[in-house]
Structure 1
Amino acid sequence: MYYHDLIIEKATTADGPGIVELLKSRAADLKSKGSMQWSFLLTGQEDREILALVSKGLFYKAALESGIQNQPPSATFMLSNTQEEWDIHLWGQEYTRGTVYLHKLAVALDHKGEGLGDRLVDWIKQHAEEQGYTKIRLDCVASAQLRSFYDKHGFILLKIVDDHCLYEWTTKR
C-alpha cells in the first residue's frame, strides 16, 4: 500500500528480525537519554513474542518509496483487533468490536525527525476507518513528548494507569 512517499505493508516472518532490531535500537537510544521506555526489549526476553506476533500478521512495516528493497524497515507498528495480555492489564477486559489496539510504533533512528511518525499515524487512522474500526486505542509512557505527539493527532487521554497514558482516537462517523 502506498501512502504519500511510503510503502506500508504487513510484515512477514522474514521481516521479524529486522523489526526486533529496530525496536531494540529505539529502546537503546531511549535508555541512553535516561528513559526506561521499552528497556525490557533490550533483555531479549521479548524477542520470541515479537517474532510470533509478526508471524500472526499483526505487525506492519514501512519503507520510504525511495528505499532499497530488502533493507530493514524505516518504521514499524502493531495493530491488533483483540486485546493482548498487556491491553487487558491496562484497560481491563473489554468487548472490543470496532476497536483496534496500536502498539510499538517506532521509526528507525536514521529517519528520526523526518515526519515519518506523523505520516504513519495518519495512515493508521485512515486504514482503521477503511477496515471498519471506530476506535484506535494505545498506551504510552507519560512523557511530555509522547503525550504531545498523540494529542497533536487527535488522540484523547482517557486515564493514566501504572504510569502509562491510555489514549483513544474515535472516527468522525
Structure 2
Amino acid sequence: MQTDNLEDFKIIIATNDKSMTIIDMLKQVALWLKKKEINQWRFLLDSGEDKEIEQDINNRNTYIVLKEDDLVATFTLLSKQSEWDMHIWGDDITSTSLYLHRLAIQPNYMSKGIGKSILEWIQKNIRRDIEYIKLDCVADNVKLNNFYKSNGFELVGLKDGHSKFQKSV
C-alpha cells in the first residue's frame, strides 16, 4: 500500500465558492459507492443534502483537503448535533463531542493512508474541551466499519441500520 504523507496536502476550512465543487465530489463518491454495491450515501445522488452541505460550508464547519490545487477529500465537523445526530445519538446536550460527517476521499486517492491521516489531524487540531469524536456509518459497510475500528473508534451501538462509533480524545 502506498502512503501519501499528509505534509504533501493542505487542510483548510472550505469557503462558499467551493460549495458546488464539494457537492460534486460527494456525488462522485456516492456514485462510486453505488457502482461498488455499497449502500452508503445514495441520498446524495438525489441532491438530498445539498442545502445542508451548503449551510455547513457557510457556517465554516466543512474542511477540504488539497494536494496542490486538486480536491482530494472533504469532511465536516459539528460541535452541535444535527437533526440526524439527535436521531442516531439521542439528545446529547451535556456532552462535549464533535460529530464527524461526510468524510469523503476521491476514489483515486483511497487506500493511501489519507483517511487515517485526516482522523489524526482532526484529533490534533480540535478544541481542547472536546471529549469525544462521534460518527455513524451504514452498519453493513464492513470495510468502512473496520476502517473506523482500526483507527481507534469504539463501536458503541446500532440505530436504524447505522453503526455508532466514538473515540475519546
User: Normalized against structure 1, the TM-score is what?
Assistant: 0.89
What corresponds to 2:162 in structure 1? 164
- Is 1:133 aligned to 2:137, yes or no? no
CA contact (8 A) 1:83 1:96 kept: no
CA contact (8 A) 1:82 1:96 kept: no
- The one-letter code sitting in structure 1 at the alignment partner of 2:50 is D
CA contact (8 A) 2:39 2:138 kept: no
Q: In structure 2, how many angstroms separate the alpha carbons of the residues matched to 1:91 and 1:97?
A: 11
RMSD value, Cα: 1.3
Post-superposition offset of 1:113: 2.0
Q: In structure 1, how many angstroms separate the alpha carbons of the residues matched to 2:154 and 2:119?
A: 14
Post-superposition offset of 1:94: 1.3
Q: In structure 2, how many angstroms separate the alpha carbons of the residues matched to 1:107 and 1:40?
A: 18
Higher normalized contact order (CA 8 Å, seq sep 6+, divided by chain length): 2
What corresponds to 1:13 in structure 2? 16
Q: In structure 2, how many angstroms separate the alpha carbons of the residues matched to 1:44 and 1:85?
A: 18
CA contact (8 A) 1:8 1:63 kept: yes
- Does the C-alpha gap of structure 1 residues 164 and 42 become closer, same or farther in structure 2, counting only changes over 3 Å? same
Q: In structure 2, how many angstroms separate the alpha carbons of the residues matched to 1:93 and 1:100?
A: 14
Q: Percent identity?
A: 34
Structure 2 residue ranges without an equivalent (≥5): 1-5
Structure 1 residue ranges without an equivalent (≥5): none
- The one-letter code sitting in structure 1 at the alignment partner of 2:132 is K
Post-superposition offset of 1:135: 0.7
The secondary structure found in structure 1 opposite 2:121 is: helix
